[in-house]
Structures are given as C-alpha cells and as structure tokens.
Chains A and B, each alone.
Chain A
Amino acid sequence: MARLSVVGRSVVRRGLEEKLTGEARYTADLKLPGMLHARVLLSPHPHAEVVSVDTSAAEAVPGVHAVFTPFDDEASGLFAGDMRVLDTRVRFVGDEVAAVAAETEEEADRAIELLGVEYRELPFETDAGKALRPDATDIHEGGNLWGGEPLVLERGDVEAGLREADMVLEETYVVASHSAAPLEPRAAVARWCEDRLTVWKTSRGVHQDRAHLSAALGVPEERIRVVGPHFGAGYGAKDESRCAMLAAVLARKAGRAVRLEYSRYQEFVAGRVRHGAVIELKVGLKRSGEITAIDNKTLMNTGAYLASGAGELRRAAQGGLYLYRCPNVRYEGRLAYTNSPVAGSYRGLGAPQGHFAVEALMDQSAKSLGIDPVKFRLMNHVGLEGQLGRRTSPRDLVVDTQPVEGGIPFSSNGLRECILRGAEAIGWGTAVEEAVEPHLKRGVGMATCIYRGGPGWESTARAVLQRDGKVDLHTGVVDVGQGSHTVLGQMAAEAFGCGYEEVRVVSGDSDVAPHSPITAGSTATFSAGLAVKEASEKLRNGLLDMASTYLERAKDGLDVSEGFIVAKGSGERLESVAVLASRMPGKFMDAEASVVPGSADYIVNSFAAHFALVEVDLLTGSVSVVRYVAAHDSGRIINPLAAVNQVEGGVSQTLGLTLSEELVTDGASGVTLNGSFLEHKCPTIGQYPEIETIFVETEDPIAPFGAKALGEPPSVPVAAAVINAVYNAVGVRFTEIPLTPDKVLEGLARKVEAA
C-alpha cells in the first residue's frame, strides 16, 4: 500500500479540544433572545383516538404563549411515511399529543398538566406476533404487516438444499428491544423571521431534516435553514421524530424563538429503539462441513411507526444470505406494527440481530459436525469471488451493497485474514486460562461479519482555496461524534497536497453546505470521502494551472505537496501555496464534485471477525467479558487512533444489547417501565473489557484512498461472539438476548435438571 502523508496518521480529532473545555455548544446550550421554553405531552394510552383537547386552562397560565394540538391546521402534515406532526390517533404510550411554549419551564410544565385531553381508548397490542393475528386491531390503514406481505429474498432452492443435507439444525432466536439512548436527548431551537424558518437541532443530516420539515410544515425547502450544532450522538436513533416540527410550529404561533428539549424519559420512550426480533433459522449441512441451505424467517417489531423499518428488515437478512458460501438461501422477513415505542435506525440496523442468529447457529453447526468453529468458518466463509451463480442484474448498474444474486466479486475481502489474525491474537486453540475462583467459568467464542462497505447516496463536496492559503472544505456531512470531519479533512489535505492543519471543515448548515445525505449506514467516509477527494483533486488541478502560468513551467512537471508547489520527481519546492493563493486573481478559488458512490463491477463490503473471552459467574449468573479481539477489514484506515476508538466503542456499546439492555413495556398497560439510565442498563467503564483491535488493511480499488466502512461493523458480530463464548464456558446454548443473570441462572438450573 502506498504511503501517504496525512491519510493514515492519527491527527488530533477535530473539535475535541472545545469539547474538553466545555466551549462546544450543543443544541440545548443555545439561547436566543426572547426564547421560550417548550414542553410536550405524551400519550398515556397505547392506542386511542384523541377526541378533544381543552386548552383553555393551559392558555390561561401566565407566561404561556402557544399551545399546539392535533386539531390545529399545522398538525396534519405527513413526514417519514406514516407520521403526522400531531395526530388525532395516538399509537403508543409516548406518542406526542400536544405541546406548549411559555416564558419559563415551570409555566410550560403547569400548562401541560392543565391540558384537558379526552381520549377514546382502542384495543392495543405490543407483541409483534400477536399484532399479525387476524383479530388484532389495525394500527395503521392497511393492517399491521408492513407492506402487506413479507419481504422474500432467495437464491437457489432452499427446500432442495435442505433435502440434500445430511443434517439440519434449527433454532429460534429472540432479541429484545433496547434503546440507543444517546447521552444528549433530542432538542431543537426554532425561530421564524417573517416567512423564513431557522432550526438548530440535534441532527445527523441537515438536508434530510430540512426535507422532513418542509414536508411536514408545508414550507418550501428554500425557506428553511437547518443548522446542526455539536451533536451528542444518536447512533442512527435521532431521525424521524417530531421534536423539531413541534418547536417550529410553536415558534410560529408564539412569534418568538422556542427551544424544546426532551427529558431523558421522553428520549427513551419517544426516541427510537432497536427493533426487537424473533428469528427462526434452519441450516442444512453435509458431514463434510459444507453448507447446503440457510433458511431464515425473521419477524421484527417496528413499534407504532415505520421509521427506518424497511432498511432494518433488509439488513437483518444479509448475514444469512451472504456471509457463507451457500447456493440455496432464503429470507422471509416480516415487519409488524405494534403499540410500542417506535423502532428506528440504531447502529448496524438489523445486522446485529441477524448476525446473532446466524453466527450462533453456525457455532452450533460446527460443534455438531465435530469441527472447530474457526476451521468451520475458514471452510465456508464467502471469498473474494463472492457467491456462486450468474449475475442477473444489468452489468452497467451500480452493484447493490447487499446483493442477493451470485456471480459478482467483492472489490476486496479480508474476512479470511480477519479470522486468522483474530484467532491468533486471542490464542484460539490453546487452553483457556482458568479463573482463580472456582465459581467463575471461562470460555472463548467467535463470530464473523459482513456489512455494507460504504457506498451510500450521492454526495457533494466543495473545496475552496482562500487567499491565506488555507482550504475550506464544505460538506453537508454532520460529524455525529465518529470523527468524520477529522477523516474528511485528512482526505482533503491528502488529495490537495497540504497539511491537515491547513484544512478547515465548514458544515452542518443547510444554507451553506453542499447537499449531502445523512450520516448513516457507515457511508460518510466512503461516499462523502469520494466527493471530498474529487473536489480537492480538482482544486489542486486548478492551482496547478495557476502555478504553471505563474512559475512559467509546464503543468505536468508540477505537483502540490505539503503546502508547496514542487517539481515532480525531484520534489524541489518552487513556491508555497500560501504565496500563490495571495496572488489569486479572485477572492478565492473553488472546486466542487458530486459523486454517486459505488461500482458496477464489484460488491463493496466490510468484514470482521470478533473473538471474546468471557467469564460466567455460576453464583450470580453474571457474564463479564474479560478480553476481546476485534479484527476488521475496513480497507485503509485513515486515522488509526480514531478508528480504534470507533471499534472499541462499537464493541462496548453492543455488549449492552448482548448482556444488559432491554426497554421493557408493561403488557397490561403498554407503558414503558424503565426509561432511565439507572434501569435501562447501558455498559459503564466498569464493564469495559480489554479490547484489542486489528486492522486487516486490504487494498480496495473503489473506495477513496481504499477506505471502507467502519462505523457500524464493530457492532455486528458482538452478540454471537459473546454468546458462543458463554456456551464454551458453561455448555449451555442461550438463544435470547440480552443474556441477563436471570436467564443464565435459569439456563444453568435446566442443565442440572437435564443431567
């Protein structure tokens, strides 16, 4: 791999210094002159018609300037498919019913208490399976099965594959809903100046937010400006909600700026959760270890609204369809509406659930065949050539990052090396060192992962050379905390030929930033990166044109390097970029590029293999991860330290899904019971294991500087790696996560009974 000067270095994360000093401003830190405080009322009923809202008492509270109910004209706007700004039907406990704005928080609270809402309660269902029964009450027109029919994806003939098998294994896996629970609750500040709206909000995509606001409020996009201040993260879960719309309507009604922040409890219930899933999986095996068929039936609970359910349902499929070389695969996915909190995007978007099932059953398969789990993976994992079969999609079309068909190779595939290097690092095959105490049992387990490699949506970037020789990089991409601005800045510096410090990133404002998609699906580095690289290269080209005239030298003998125009070959410094920039004819020089990322010839995917060493406490049933190895193929790593941070964070975060986090809804009332950081048990630094990160830096010809997706893959194989390690430790196959102490103790007791 060619050595580069800025890419590949652990430069200091952009914005971290102001975060460390407290200077960084997040949405809830903003205060506008005359700003009012808003509060929102959430439905206490899981399913009801809002018959009427008596606002008189609330309006009479001194200091109250605006009250917004579903019966107002502004309420009917539709966004994100099936959600209205406010609706006369509430579909879960936590659905927004009304909102108020007042001078002080106390007045707003008081007004909320005084709203007289009359509900007509409807039958409700919080369980996905039951919601699909014929006698269940419809939550949306068209019924509770989203799309009216299951999503079916297949390659080959799964029935034939199962018949061919010497052995068929079958298991049902259950994944509970849990919350992404970003530390910063969602918030928005809205202000109108005549007919122009400005919204500062917790955002991961100012342009998408602008489109949603426009659709919901019926205001043309040109008259809306969305600004994303520092963002206290979302992991996907902060989109598609009403917060900003409510602030905007209240601001218009009050004629004042309005700030709405959700409380922690509101963030838990009215925010977005990961889809709970029930996965019935069957695998056909030959004695030789060959996989003849994988049959996957998945049911996901999308809660009261669709949000990103469609993408979730699709991504839950890919592990079963593509991770293993197998001619006969089938996926039947169903997405059910229920009267529970809305499921939305959350890191990995369905893939963690899907991979949990596939990788747990593959572990069991290996065991049943008497083959070592690592060896079984090495025998069967999908290789560089992709799946067998003939490509059926048109050859000039960009290849889907999640294909079903065979016959398309990957642009790069380091899965095998991930498995080999990870196994070596954890000491696979050597005896696990026993714990000191006899009631602590240790074991190791592993799992692998395939994930979209980064191509997302069309992305635009603009690079501007200023007269002081610095480069402004304009991108619409929001840094959601993962460090995209750092990484994109590095790419721009590398492509243009200057130092990292010379690049300034301008972003997060829909009025000035070029159009960019949301920071989602691990696509920022790849998709925005391509646009950034191209725009920066164009800018360099423009500068070289100027340099050629100015220095009176042929352009093809010149280059830009580390802030200087240099002679190609010798590298002799001829002039600094700063001096040339100060002589520019115009105020600045700029270049823009729009790129539709992807390849017509290759599947671009990222890969990983994870290994866990766990300790199970036989007395308390608690599982702790002692050591963890995460080996990743995300192509070239732009910033090693930030990338390690990303992997460690993704693993640790997903230990929550695996071992402790669950958002519990009371069956009798539909009420979410544990919407707090105390009771929805996210990992703390106390649970943080020793994590070793390995990057298998494959060379990828399609990706910008060879950099593939890294944001989500670390979350994908974690659950299976840990659960497989627990099996290795205590000999019980657990199929439900989170694997909390109650499940462990009951599982151990069943094992004793059986023996």
Chain B
Amino acid sequence: MNPFEFVEPESLEEAVSLLTKEPGRAEVIAGGTDLLSELKDGLRRPERLVSLMGVEELGGVRWERDRVWLGASLTLGSLAEDERLSGEYPILAQAARSIATTQIRSVATLGGNLCQRPRCWYYRHPGFPCYKKGGVHCYGVNGYNRNLAILGHGASVMVHPSDMAPALIAMDARLESFGPRGRRTMALEDFFAGPNEQQMQEHVLERGEIVTGVFVSKPPSDARSVFLKAQDRTGEDFALASVAASASVSDGAVTRARMILGGVAPVPYRSQKAEEYLVGQAVKEVESSKAAELALCHARPLRHNGFKVILTKNLVRHAIETILKQ
C-alpha cells in the first residue's frame, strides 16, 4: 500500500473540509473493508484518508415516531443483530446477514456498503485500465462476463455489488448526505448512478459529500417482504442475483409492490413492470411466473451470463410466492 495520512475528524464539517482541501487527494474511509483492497491493489492512491469513525452522529440506530434512522457508520453486524430492527424490518436483517463474513460484518458499515466499488474482475485487476477506472473500454463486454449485467448496461456492464441497497430500496428508504453545499436527502433509488452518468463512482455524491445515514419509514401493518440471494457459495460470496420484494395486501388484493433486483445491473434495478402488474391484482390471481417474465423483459444477457436470466426469474417467482403466503 502506498503511504498516506490517516485523519479522524470529530465533526462532519471538519470531515468535509478535510476532503475538499486538496481535491482529488483525499478519500473517505469508514470500516475500510472495501477501500483497503483497492489501495493494496493500487487502484486508487489517495494521500489522505478521512475516517468517519470519530464522527459520533453517524453511528447507531435512532427510532423516530414513524421512521427509523440508520447511521452511515452502523456496522452490518449490528444491523443484522439488532432485535428491534429484525422484528420491524426483517428484510434488512436478512440482507445484512447474507453479506460477507462475521469478521467483515464486525467492521463494515452501512455507508460503506452503499458506496462500495464494483466487484467486476476486470475492474479489480490492476492490469486492465477499464472504463470504471477512467479508461475507455469495458472489458466485460467481450470478455468473461458470467457475473456481469443482464439489464441496464451502458458504457460498462458492471453490476452493483451491494445487498443492502435492494433491500433498503424495497422499503422506500431515503438517503441523507452532508457536503460542501450542506445537507440533503433523496430517495435511495436516486442515489445510484449508472456508468453513463458517472464513470468513476456509482452514486451521485459530489466531491467531499458524505453519506450520513438512511431513513426508513415504518412499513404499513399489512406489509410483507423478503430478500433472496443466489450465490456460487453460501457464505463468503457476492450475489449472482438477488431479489428484494415487498408488498402490501388489503382485502385480498395487492395495493403496493416493490421488486428490486440486485447483482444484475449497474445499479439496483427496480422492475416497474412487475410492480405494475402486481398492484391491483387479487392475491389469488397473481401468476408469479408472469411477474417474473415482466421483471426480466428488458434483459439482454451477454455471452456467458444467460443463466442469470433464468436464475433471476426463478428468484422473482419465489419471492412473490413467499410474500403472498406470509
């Protein structure tokens, strides 16, 4: 690893100023579980790391009347093990528990999970000057693309690696950030940016802007949800595909539906077609395979990843059957 300076400010303002002082030379570090691999492989060479762990307001879970606030520095381990969270937002605990390993979850943070970089093999290999590293080429397009996108590709066929993102989007989470221009919130769905909009990052944050946390509204009492993740290896592995689904049912009919696909597109992919199909349907009439076809109707598999279309359809079907049974 190239030498750098490690600083640990105690306030957000200080952190932002440390990040913006010499633009381009400083990076945020939270748990470091993702960033350190990038630094060790020389993918990035910052001169300063600004740690967020000294900023108290970023930690913890805050329960409000009709929503909960999850701090950016909350570890995935705490998220998975928090009993009240598991009770009220089971989908979040399911997603958190599926991530990486006990050791990673002890230090990896929610903010870091949402801001983590692609896991594409060409991106992670220092030998390929790929598009997401500022190059011109996405090597995945014609290369070995088994693990890459089947939906929504643009200049890159990377897939977004986060498991927390689909689960949170399925709960209509809002993201809060703080930057040189102050505080703002946005729908988490709008936080993510595909390769055509952003080349060197996967979100819309401005330079020096920090994710401070995520708000999740209290789900309606009739809500149900599930997070499903398919992997090559249960345990330490990213998703080949994941599905986060939630729905509300009243009087035997679906009144609200969210169908978010992970691991299949450069951003968490919201399948509006499937959602539209589900809303208004009587539960007994729902054909889950029809919803699955709709969810994947825009799929354009690459040379080695046709199986992901089958896989994702299977997961969508199963997710719908599971939540409608709940």
Interface residues of A (CB under 8 A from B): 44, 93, 106, 439, 618-622, 624, 660, 664, 666-669, 671, 673-674, 677-679, 681, 683-684, 686-687, 740-743, 745-746, 749
Contact = CB atoms under 8 A, between A and B. Distances in A.
A745 B311 CA distance: 7
Contacts of A666: 139, 143-144
Contacts of A439: 318
Interface stretch (B85-93, B190-198, B227-235, B255-263): B227-235
Contact of B235 (A106, A684, A745): A684
Nearest to A682: B233
Given A44-B127, A668-B143, A741 B315 contact: no
19 contacts: A106-B3, A619-B314, A622-B231, A666-B143, A667-B143, A671-B125, A673-B144, A677-B236, A678-B236, A679-B121, A681-B233, A684-B233, A687-B234, A740-B232, A741-B230, A741-B240, A742-B304, A745-B310, A745-B311
B295 to A, nearest CB: 15
Interface string B300-323: 000011111011001101100000
B237 interface: yes
Contacts of A674: 121
B121 A619 contact: no
A439 B139 CA distance: 36
Interface string B227-255: 00011111111001000000000000000
A681 B237 contact: yes
Counting chain A CB atoms within 10 Å of each CB, the highest count among B122, B304, B305 belongs to B122
A741 B234 contact: no
Contacts of A743: 307
B142 interface: yes
A615 B204 CA distance: 43
Given A673-B121, A741-B307, A746-B307, A687 B233 contact: yes
Contacts of B317: 619
A622 B237 CA distance: 13
Contact of B315 (A620, A673, A678): A620
A622 B121 contact: no
Counting chain B CB atoms within 10 Å of each CB, the highest count among A624, A687, A745 belongs to A745
A741 B232 contact: yes
Given A439-B318, A619-B318, A742 B146 contact: yes
A454 to B, nearest CB: 34
Contacts of B3: 106
A408 to B, nearest CB: 44
Interface residues of B, number: 31
Interface of B: 3, 121-122, 125, 127-128, 139, 142-144, 146, 230-237, 240, 304-308, 310-311, 314-315, 317-318
A619 B122 CA distance: 28
A677 to B, nearest CB: 8
Given A622-B230, A668-B143, A684 B236 contact: yes
B5 to A, nearest CB: 15
A683 B236 CA distance: 10
A505 to B, nearest CB: 35
Contacts of A619: 230, 311, 314-315, 317-318
Nearest to B233: A681
Contacts of A677: 236
Contacts of B310: 745-746, 749
Nearest to A618: B314
A224 to B, nearest CB: 35
Counting chain B CB atoms within 10 Å of each CB, the highest count among A620, A622, A660, A746 belongs to A620
B37 to A, nearest CB: 9
Contacts of A660: 232-233
Contact of B142 (A44, A668, A678, A742): A668
Contacts of B237: 678, 681
B281 to A, nearest CB: 22
A681 B147 CA distance: 14
A174 B16 CA distance: 55
Contacts of A93: 127
A473 to B, nearest CB: 40
A686 B146 CA distance: 24
Nearest to A676: B124
B233 A620 contact: no
B288 to A, nearest CB: 12
Contacts of B230: 619-622, 741
A686 B232 CA distance: 12
A674 B318 CA distance: 31
A683 B125 contact: no
A689 B89 CA distance: 32
Given A619-B318, A671-B125, A673-B144, A683 B233 contact: yes
A254 to B, nearest CB: 24
A736 to B, nearest CB: 14
A340 to B, nearest CB: 14
A678 B310 CA distance: 24
A44 B305 CA distance: 27
A664 B146 CA distance: 11
Nearest to A677: B236
Contacts of A684: 233, 235-236
Nearest to A93: B127
A671 B127 contact: yes
Q: Closest 5 interchain pairs by CB? A: A742-B307, A686-B235, A619-B314, A620-B230, A673-B121
A745 B304 CA distance: 13
B319 to A, nearest CB: 10
Contacts of A746: 306-307, 310
Contacts of B314: 618-620, 745
